[in-house]
Amino acid sequence: MKKNLYILFIGTTLAMSACKKGNLDRFPQTTISPNLFFKSEEDLSLYVNGLLSQPDRNSYLNDQSSDNVATTAAVEVKNIMAGNANAQNITTGWGWSRLRDINYFLENYNKAQVSSTIKAHYVGLARFYRAEFYLDKVKRFSDVPWYSGTLEPGSEALYKARDPRTLVMDSVMADLDFAYKNVRESVPNGTPGKWAVAALYSRAALYEGTFRKYHTELNLTATATAFLETAAKVSGEVISSNKFTIYNTGKPTQDYATLFNSQDLTGNKEVILTNIFDLSKGKGQNVNSVVFGDYEQAPAKDLIQTYLMKDGTRFSSQPNYDKLGFVKEFENRDPRLAQTMVYPGWVRVPDATPYIQRLNKNFTGYHQLKGYVNSTDNNTLNGVDFPVYRYAEVLLNYAEALAENGTLTQTQLDQSLNLLRRRAGLPDLNLAAANANPDPIMQVQFTNVASNVGVILEIRRERRVEFAFENSRYDDLMRWKSGKLLTKSPEGMYFAGLGKYDMTGDGVDDIILIDRTQTIPAEEQKEKNSLGVKLIYYRTGTIGTDATVFLKNGTSGGAIVTEAVTRQFEEPKYYYRPIPQQQVLLNPKLTQIFGW
């Protein structure tokens, strides 16, 4: 049966445009009178449902800040690493109108003539949203002003200094703890309930615990353990609830993809919170045109090389692994790779023959599949649900928090990470074996991991693979203090040099690389392959020339290169963002940190 779609609107407009004081001193523009509005549970529900704001399928396009992709977009962190950023031109992220809407509710909900249990549920949801709001602020700015209520015009509190990160994150944890204990389990489909709160609680605690552990510039290392313990505790309680399971029907080549191309995730036991799309109910979203084709992000070779072989061994252990072509790269790999990237032999609807990768300038040659809907039906394209919180994340949060605190056991690993490997048909990860033989390539990437090295690295691998293109990689690199990995320019497919190449895996050549000084023949003069199909021609050279494919060594071959810029990641400065200079001028108490 098609899902019931709950589309929730608030009868009055709560979103407000920014003002110079961050909008913390204004009533909603529609002037909701607390004495007239906050009367019943319906009023509380109407207001809180108006605060609902969820990530959607555009999240599949938000890996552009990470090392998972190459992009031609003007991504903020790329501009920063190029030395082109300062407090005058980084002007986003300091909006406060949403917080004002949340705090307005928290100041007025008590006027409703309802039971304390009902009030606590809606207060919990509002505090969940406030925690989410402040977690994003802390990720960006670290120390920020904490406002627990709305402010009167002219209030001195509007001009307060930053509050310490410790105060803000303690307040975030308090909000999440209250929400976790008071928000109902049973809520309308598509809205957060108790277990969605737990998912964010687990995520926030892990983020802060690992950030404090690795970011010694904060002088908060001693406080990291408590956050990691909270992450493990809350994640463990989600596991113990037996409410959720990893979606696994025994089809390792299909089950993972089902999470990202399903018309109905509301009954999927892995999905804790769903953003529901159904065009027939007036809510649709189609991202095909930007996920696939002439898009802003293209998968990086480094990500492809992270996936294991299907027997659980490392791809980097294969002879000459870094010189394998596209077809060979996809042979005998973790099945999630071919459910995340377009693979050799993939057929695009409505085509009758396998798709041939396009080698566009400044892209890698690899094509993203996750988020793409292989259909031409408009209702299908617009009706794919988005998994906001997945049980898979809770399991990996659990494993990582325990591993970082040095208490992870094989039993706990089997209850968490290994469930994901089993879905993919991979062998279980053995704790002792992982620690005895850490991945040497990952050891070079993550030099600050000092204990439980092997298993922590494998958990990080699993996070990268499991959540590729789900907008988590950048946050992971930031909390692990691994920003230096962003300085490596993304590379693409490997080609040995000029000549013909099979791109579909059928043994028949599909493309031909010629020297950039040569002219691509007219259509009637193009060479045909053994199937009688004309080869696709590309003029090849080094980046910066008029070639159509840029190889590291030009006509001598190498990986596709995507840019010719020097990236530098200044630590610890670039883990944070400056407060927009205009705000500092309005409130001199807002001082910059870490060299901004």
Q: What's 11's domain CATH number? A: 1.25.40.890
Spatial separation of the C-alpha atoms in residues 527 and 191, rounded to whole Å: 57
Average pLDDT over residues 432-452: 98
Amino acid at the residue 582: Q
Let me know whether 498 and 592 are in one domain. Answer: no
User: Which residue, among 134, 112, 133, 135, has the nearest Cα to 123 in the 3D structure?
Assistant: 112
- What are the tens digits of pLDDT across the range 147-182? 999 877 778 888 999 999 999 999 999 999 999 999
- What are the tens digits of pLDDT across the range 234-261? 999 999 999 999 999 999 999 999 999 9
Cα 351–Cα 357–Cα 358 angle in degrees, nearest 5 = 105
Reported as a pLDDT band with limits 50, 70 and 90, residue 1 is: very low
Let me know whether 576 and 514 are in one domain. Answer: no
Query: What phi-psi label fits residue 300: left (phi over 0), alpha (psi between -120 and 50 degrees) or beta?
Result: beta
- Residue 30 pLDDT > 90, yes or no? no
Let me know whether 51 and 124 are in one domain. Answer: yes
Spatial separation of the C-alpha atoms in residues 388 and 370, rounded to whole Å: 15
Let me know whether 324 and 184 are in one domain. Answer: no
- Residue 585 pLDDT > 60, yes or no? yes
Reported as a pLDDT band with limits 50, 70 and 90, residue 9 is: very low
Return the SS3 of 304: helix
User: Which residue, among 146, 228, 181, has the nearest Cα to 405 in the 3D structure?
Assistant: 228
* Total domains, the chain: 3
What pLDDT sits at residue 6? 35
What pLDDT sits at residue 293? 64
Reported as a pLDDT band with limits 50, 70 and 90, residue 195 is: very high
State the CB neighbour count (10 A cutoff) for residue 571: 12
What pLDDT sits at residue 244? 98
Let me know whether 555 and 578 are in one domain. Answer: no
Spatial separation of the C-alpha atoms in residues 428 and 480, rounded to whole Å: 25
- Residue 27 pLDDT > 60, yes or no? no
- Residue 15 pLDDT > 60, yes or no? no
- Residue 7 pLDDT > 50, yes or no? no
Average pLDDT over residues 205-233: 98
Q: Considering the domain boundaries, does residue 234 fall inside one? A: no
Reported as a pLDDT band with limits 50, 70 and 90, residue 31 is: low
Residues whose CB is less than 8 angstroms from the CB of residue 162 and which lie 6 or more positions away in sequence, other chains included: 141, 143, 144, 145, 590, 591, 593
Residues whose CB is less than 8 angstroms from the CB of residue 283 and which lie 6 or more positions away in sequence, other chains included: 5, 7, 276, 277
Let me know whether 307 and 361 are in one domain. Answer: yes
State the CB neighbour count (10 A cutoff) for residue 345: 15
Q: Considering the domain boundaries, does residue 227 fall inside one? A: no
Structural domain boundaries enclosing 340: 288-372
Q: Considering the domain boundaries, does residue 283 fall inside one? A: no
Let me know whether 140 and 58 are in one domain. Answer: yes
Of 320, 350, 372, the position where a domain reaches its end is: 372
What pLDDT sits at residue 294? 61
**H or E element in which residue 26 lies:** none
- What are the tens digits of pLDDT across the range 51-62? 999 999 999 998
Instruction: Determine what percent of the chain is predicted with pLDDT higher than 90.
Output: 89
What pLDDT sits at residue 16? 31
- What are the tens digits of pLDDT across the range 198-216? 999 999 999 999 999 999 9
- What are the tens digits of pLDDT across the range 64-101? 999 999 998 889 999 999 998 999 999 999 999 999 99
Reported as a pLDDT band with limits 50, 70 and 90, residue 529 is: very high
- Residue 434 pLDDT > 90, yes or no? yes
Let me know whether 25 and 169 are in one domain. Answer: yes
Let me know whether 578 and 553 are in one domain. Answer: no
What pLDDT sits at residue 295? 61
The mean pLDDT of the chain is 93
Report the range of poorest mean pLDDT among 14-28, 113-127, 303-317, 431-445.
14-28
User: Which residue, among 58, 29, 80, has the nearest Cα to 573 in the 3D structure?
Assistant: 80
End-to-end CA gap in the chain: 55
Let me know whether 530 and 580 are in one domain. Answer: no
Q: Considering the domain boundaries, does residue 363 fall inside one? A: yes
Q: How many residues would you count in the chain?
A: 596
Q: Rounded to a whole number, what is the largest CA-CA distance in the chain?
A: 82
Of 337, 372, 407, the position where a domain reaches its end is: 372
Q: Considering the domain boundaries, does residue 361 fall inside one? A: yes
Cα 156 to Cα 27, 146, 171: the distances in Å are 17, 14, 21
The strand ranges marked E within 292-441 are 297-299, 386-390
Residues whose CB is less than 8 angstroms from the CB of residue 127 and which lie 6 or more positions away in sequence, other chains included: 106, 175, 176, 178, 179
- What are the tens digits of pLDDT across the range 289-299? 888 866 678 99
Q: Considering the domain boundaries, does residue 331 fall inside one? A: yes
Let me know whether 513 and 590 are in one domain. Answer: no
Q: Considering the domain boundaries, does residue 107 fall inside one? A: yes
Of 354, 372, 390, the position where a domain reaches its end is: 372
What pLDDT sits at residue 26? 40
Q: Considering the domain boundaries, does residue 262 fall inside one? A: no
What pLDDT sits at residue 202? 98
Cβ–Cβ under 8 Å, residues 386 and 55: yes
Let me know whether 557 and 587 are in one domain. Answer: no
Report the range of poorest mean pLDDT among 20-34, 122-136, 145-159, 438-452.
20-34
- Residue 22 pLDDT > 70, yes or no? no
